[in-house]
Chains A and B, each alone.
Chain A
Amino acid sequence: MELAEIGCIILEIAPAFAAYYLAAVGHGFIEKSGVLNLAIDGVFVLGVAVAFAVGVYTINPWIAFFVTILVGTGFGILLSYLTIKFPISHGVAGLSIMFLGYGLATLVGKPARTCQGRVGAINSGFPQDPLSKTLMFILPILTGIALLFIINKIKLGATIRAAGENPHAASALGVDILRTRLIAGAIGYALIGAGAAFYTLAWLPLWSEGQGLGHGWIAFAISLSAGRHPLFTILTAGIFVGLVKYQFTLQAFYSLSPEITKMIPFIAAITAMVIFNITSLRRKLAPPQSLGKIYFKEEKEQSK
């Protein structure tokens, strides 16, 4: 009986886990290539809205899922392209895309919301039976393992890490930085899109303006506190998802004010990053050395 209850509690967080975990490993993947990813929250919010809108219009979760992934991929390519083709700061490019994402999310979500108001609640989500929920654990984790394999075992991964560590040396060694970062951006953002899709289609099938706001940053923190390592991310994602999912239980249990409980995941994010940075984990799982540094071909010689 008790075991079943625990199982139930764990399965309960599966949809949220899938959403945050996929977005977090996607984020880690693109950052491995040296692109500072500050656009994640905007694209996540947009993805949430796109999944909702397409879900409302087509009543098919799979179409919604894949359209969201495509939108994510597009933005990943855009971010990589902007930061390499032009000597602009990764921060500026990322944050601009973030605000673009916020705006587009409203644009996409509003009509669908109105439409949904007439049709009724969105009923095009992924199935919620125990088997599907188990799969929502297994498939993202398999994706994470696949990413780990790509990063550590094949040439593409070596190329991506090289681009993230030292793009100047890497291009001297024969790496096409633009192509590498475009691939990393596309794969990373496809996963962030997938995460956003799970957020809507499997977890919270409602939409109002600002839905998902800040949750891209939580995925960011999940990835960062795990040092962008797909396996450690399983652990941090589990902890964060537990906090997000059961914050209301905590609220009731300790009779906290809702404002405080809403802050819990973010406080945990800060705490996790502090812990990460003051322990020796900081060096073992160090970020790519050239993360966020402008790499611009014409300036190669001067910046050395």
Chain B
Amino acid sequence: MVSQVPQLIDRLTVAENIILGLKQYGILSPVKRVVEYIRTRGESLGIKVDPNTEVWKLSYTQKQLVEILRAILLGAKVLLLDEAITYLPIEEKRKFYKFIRAFAEKGGSVILITHKIYEAMDAADRITVLRLGKVVGTVYASEVTINDVRKLMFAERSSEITYERLAPGSPEENVLLSIRDLWVMDDFGDYAVRGASLDVKPGEVVGIAGVAGNGQKELIQAIIGLRMVEKGAIIFEGEDITRKGTAYIRRKGVGYIPDLPAKYGVSLENTIEENIAILPVFANIVIDWNRIRDLALKLIEEYQIKIPSSLTPVKLLSGGNIMKVLVARELAVAKKLLIGYNPTRALDAATAIKVRKIIKEKAIKEKTGVLIASEDLDEIFQISDRIAVINSGKIVGIFEADKADRKEIEHLMVM
């Protein structure tokens, strides 16, 4: 099984990761012995990865390849790919399709789990659609169109789904957020962001496109003050906020939607009121609960959050509603700027589009600057006014979204 998030151990080398599962090697056997084996088997499968590299140095694609190699070395007959290639750029995806085909032709079976319909159409022979845990239909890919599958997936909501670009914003001329030659380290003491420079204007949505693990996470965390900046400057409204700390930056009117919102964005055990009151923008040492309650109720109504009361623990909500709680709160904070990383990951397509629309409207109506990094290129194209491409910690290209060429951007992402 290969999942969306590589299940490998970052600090171990490729060989060490693989030997863990190989029963033919006893616990006292040297890791060296497996290295040659991996190299030859890998090459015969067309997977070229140095077995002595530590996994954290690999790109997302390489990690997925290592996972597949491992599955095959373990003698897998069935490969289960759980959103494993969803966030790969199209060029890399094609390589995977080829590989999947070859594996299937040799007698193996592949189960590909994905929420991107065209991916299923491209790769699969048969498509089974699940909705709310029930099988709603199985079709042959060669006999149906994308729209048929979409109808199966979303039934009456299928009309809400669109990948068209949202209305363009009308950015002002002055610069709201300016990132200048930023250098930030990752968790392993290596530079993840290497001299990135970027501007965001009020009322503008800037999307950062990139393959996972190219420094977008660290860049976003550095802006909101969650990660040390080694070199460079972050200027917000003409003020240097590089080392100001998260609370200070938040008070300036900066909203933040993190990756994995249920883990890093809200406290699941607490109520929506408490989740609002925790922010320094809304309450300081003494909390005015009446004010918080008014705000909570206002947000619940405005965003149609399905919640029995503002005192219900957030964990009882569905994933989409938890996300709405987070987005509603952060948009309330984001008087000036909203930054986010994969803001709609883990949402179904219909809800994701709704969230994007809400964000975009905010940018247009209230002249909020928005900076969003996402591994989902569809999302980037749908929401952005300008697209910045990040690769190995550097911004390698900035495009006006209406003139951007998708192929060129994908090429820059994997270059």
Q: Which residues of A are in contact with B by a Cβ distance under 8 Å?
A: 153-156, 158-159, 161-162, 165-166, 169-170, 172-175, 183, 280, 283-284, 286, 289
Chain B: minimal CB distance from A186 (Å) = 13
**B7 & A283 in contact (Cβ 8 Å cutoff):** no
Question: B405: CB under 8 A from chain A?
Answer: no
> B55: shortest Cβ distance to chain A, in Å?
10
Contact call A173/B188, Cβ cutoff below 8 A: no
Known: A155-B19, A158-B12, A158-B20. 5 other contacts (CB 8 A): A156-B28, A162-B20, A172-B7, A173-B20, A283-B189
Task: Say if the beta carbon of B41 comes within 8 Å of chain A.
Answer: no
- Known: A153-B32, A158-B19, A159-B27. Is A169-B187 also a contact (CB below 8 A)? no
Within the complex, what minimum Cβ distance (angstroms) separates A175 from chain B?
A: 5
The interface residues of chain B lying within 8 Å CB-to-CB of A289 are 11
Residues from chain B with Cβ under 8 Å of A161 in the complex: 9, 11-12, 16
Tell me if B25 and A155 are in contact (CB < 8 A). Answer: yes
A162→B54 CA distance, assembly (Å) = 13
Contacting pair A280 B9 (CB below 8 A): no
Contact check, B185 vs A169: say whether CB atoms are below 8 A apart. Answer: no
Q: How far is the CB of A143 from chain B (nearest CB, A)?
A: 17
What residues of A have a CB within 8 angstroms of the CB of B28 in the complex? 154-156
Indicate whether A169 sits within 8 Å of B8 (C-beta atoms), given known contacts A174-B21, A284-B189: yes
Chain B residues within an 8 Å CB radius of A183: 27
Instruction: Closest B residue to A175 by CB, please name it.
Output: B20
Q: List 5 A-B pairs, minimum CB-CB distance, nearest first.
A: A174-B21, A283-B189, A158-B16, A156-B27, A173-B20
Q: Which residues of chain B (1-30) have a CB below 8 Å from chain A? A: 1, 7-12, 16-17, 19-23, 25-30
Q: Is B398 an interface residue (CB 8 A)?
A: no
What's the dominant secondary structure at chain A's contact region? helix
- Asked whether any CB of chain A lies closer than 8 Å to the CB of B129, the reply is no
* Subset of 17 A-B contacts with CB under 8 Å: A154-B27, A154-B29, A155-B29, A155-B30, A156-B27, A158-B31, A159-B20, A161-B9, A161-B11, A162-B20, A173-B20, A173-B21, A173-B70, A175-B20, A183-B27, A283-B189, A289-B11
The minimal Cβ–Cβ distance linking A174 to chain B, given in whole angstroms, is: 3
The residues of B that contact A175 with a CB separation of less than 8 Å are 20-21
Find the residue from B10, B27, B30, B188 having the highest chain A CB count within 10 A: B27
**Which of B12, B23, B30, B189 is close to A280, meaning CB atoms less than 8 Å apart?**
B189
The answer to whether residues A154 and B30 also contact, given A162-B16, A173-B20, A174-B21 and a CB cut-off of 8 A, is: yes
- Inter-chain CA distance A261–B366, complex, in Å, is 64
In angstroms, Cα B20 to Cα A159, docked, is: 6
Contact A155 B31 (CB under 8 A): yes
Which residues of the other chain, A, contact B26 by a CB distance below 8 angstroms? 155
A162 to B12, CA, bound (A): 7
Which residues of B have CB within 8 Å of A284?
A: 189
Cβ contact within 8 Å between A173 and B7: yes
Which listed residue, B12, B21, B70, B187, touches A283 by the CB 8 Å rule?
A: B187
Query: How far apart are the CA atoms of A170 and B12 in the complex, in Å?
Result: 11
Task: Name the B residues within 8 Å of A155 (CB-CB).
Answer: 19-20, 25-31
Complexed CA–CA distance, A153 and B13 (Å): 11
**In the complex the two chains form, what is the Cα distance from A144 to B63 in whole Å?**
33
Picked from A154, A173, A283, A286, the residue with its CB within 8 Å of the CB of B17 is A173
Give the distance in Å from the alpha carbon of A155 to the alpha carbon of B31 in the complex: 6
Q: Which residue of B lies closest to A162 (CB)?
A: B9
Q: In the bound complex, what is the Cα–Cα distance between A166 and B9 (angstroms)?
A: 7
Q: Which of B9, B25, B30, B32 contacts A169 (CB 8 A)?
A: B9
* Identity of the chain A residue whose Cβ is nearest the Cβ of B15 in the assembled complex: A158
Question: Given A155-B25, A156-B28: A173 and B187 within 8 A (CB)?
Answer: no
Give complex CA distance A284, B186 in Å: 11
Given A155-B25, A156-B28, residue A165 in contact with residue B7 (CB < 8 A)? no
Known: A159-B20, A161-B11, A170-B20. A283 touches B31 (CB 8 A): no
> In the complex, which residues of chain B have a beta carbon less than 8 angstroms from the beta carbon of A286?
187-188
For B21, what are the chain A residues with a Cβ–Cβ distance below 8 Å? Answer: 173-175
B189 to A170, Cβ gap below 8 A?
no
Asked if B9 contacts A173 (CB within 8 A), the reply is: yes
> Which of B11, B30, B188 has the largest number of chain A CB atoms within 10 A?
B11
When chains A and B are docked, how far (Å) is the Cα of A159 from the Cα of B27?
A: 8
**Which B residues are CB-close (under 8 A) to A172?**
1, 7
Q: Nearest CB to that of B21 among chain A residues?
A: A174
Instruction: Tell me which residues across on chain A come within 8 A of B20, comparing CB atoms.
Output: 155, 158-159, 162, 170, 173-175
